[in-house]
Amino acid sequence: MSVPLSILDLSPISAGSTAQQALRNTVDLARRAEQWGYHRYWLAEHHFVAVASSSSITLLGLIAAATDRIRVGTAAVQVGHHTSASIVEAFGTVDALYPGRLDLGIGRSGHRKTQFGAEPARPKRPAIDTATGRTEVRDGVVIPPPFDPGRIADRSKYLAGLHALHQEGAQPQDFAEQVDDIRALLADTYTTPDGFALRAVPGAGAKVDLWLFGSSGGTSAEIAGRLGLPFAAAYHVAPGTALDAVESYRAAFRPSVRLAEPYVVLSADVVVAETDTAAQHLASSYGHWVHGIRSGAGAPEYPDPDTAGPLTADQQRLVADRVATQLVGSPGTVTDRLAALQRVSGADELLITSVTHRHADRLDSHRLLAEAWDARATRAA
């Protein structure tokens, strides 16, 4: 089965570069992605780290203006840092000029002070042997033990960031209630708790598709299923629980006006080059980047693989699951692994994120993958 490929971009800042250049790179990649046949171009939201997509909705408008056909979206707006009205009005503003092309992906990050953006794993059926912590390989797909956020020793920067992103004394709205408010504002049916009807202008009636994004079989997956919304599962962030999220979403799914059947997008971290050896070199500093995130310091500037030294044994253990589940190699190697991931998950669409130190290598990675995936589909037809 051939499924569409889409792109998730963090606008990474490479060592020695700048946020300004990272944003120019994002616009360049989005234009090329449209030429190469990618279905969507989604933008992540991260704060106080070395990525330039912190204002993902602002960047969404710039990408919509720079492209013609490709769908543009967020994966995901961290709704704990925004009001429902501000989100809908911002998307409505962009949709007013580029109607019918926007995907509003929302996630729970920012709601929890004890998690680094991941929902607690509550799988209905364990994906791994939790007694031994062994990694499972299912039809070629690596499913590591779920990562325990408690292994992150220093959360001080994360908590400081939460404080900076919230108004003094403000508490994030209950996630399910916020989803309902966003849906009502888009549908022009919003009423305040005390009975006032309010209309988002722009925003009410906007041709915006709402998505929920999650990393485990918890609240986000269950709400998306219950409301009949499409769901994106983050294998690239939480490979140990992403398939549980897909399972929970499908189990909870109820048909809606939007969808008669579940629709799943699954993300994967990918690096493609002409040969396996070349791709492995480009990806050799990925573990250093993930270690910066999991150490509590946040995503650093992306290291140059030509100069990055080896990780220590302790550092390697902290990032082993992410390194093992990154899809790295030649076009044939990576498309085989992507096809396996699609088979095991039953995903309707695959969302590709690719980070390399050099922008040219990232362009090549996405181009080579698109060409190989299209060729694979042609052979299968």
Read off the pLDDT band of 162 (50, 70, 90): confident
Q: Is the pLDDT of residue 71 over 50?
A: yes
Cα–Cα distance, 117 to 107 (Å, whole number): 9
Cα–Cα distance, 375 to 380 (Å, whole number): 9
Average pLDDT over residues 19-27: 98
Average pLDDT over residues 285-314: 96
Q: Is the pLDDT of residue 34 over 70?
A: yes
Cα angle 243, 249, 251; round to 5:
105
Average pLDDT over residues 259-264: 98
pLDDT digits (tens, 9 = 90+) for 174-207: 999 999 999 999 999 999 999 999 999 999 999 9
| pLDDT reported for residue 119 | 40
Average pLDDT over residues 267-293: 98
| pLDDT reported for residue 49 | 95
Place of tokens 């220590």: 312
pLDDT digits (tens, 9 = 90+) for 319-329: 999 999 999 99
Domain ranges of the chain: 5-380
Q: Is the pLDDT of residue 351 over 50?
A: yes
| pLDDT reported for residue 149 | 86
Read off the pLDDT band of 110 (50, 70, 90): low
Q: Which CATH number describes the domain made up of 5-380?
A: 3.20.20.30
Share above pLDDT 70 across residues of the chain, in percent, rounded to a whole number: 93
pLDDT digits (tens, 9 = 90+) for 115-160: 443 343 333 333 333 334 689 999 999 999 999 888 887 889 888 8
Mean residue pLDDT of the chain comes to: 92
| pLDDT reported for residue 167 | 84
- Strands 141-143 and 136-138 turn out to be antiparallel
CA dihedral 217, 218, 220, 222 (to 10 degrees): 80
Q: Is the pLDDT of residue 25 over 60?
A: yes
Q: Is the pLDDT of residue 93 over 50?
A: yes
Q: Is 203 within 8 Å of 88 (Cβ atoms)?
A: yes
Is residue 23 exposed (0-12), middle (13-18) or buried (19+ Cβ within 10 Å)? Answer: middle
Read off the pLDDT band of 38 (50, 70, 90): very high
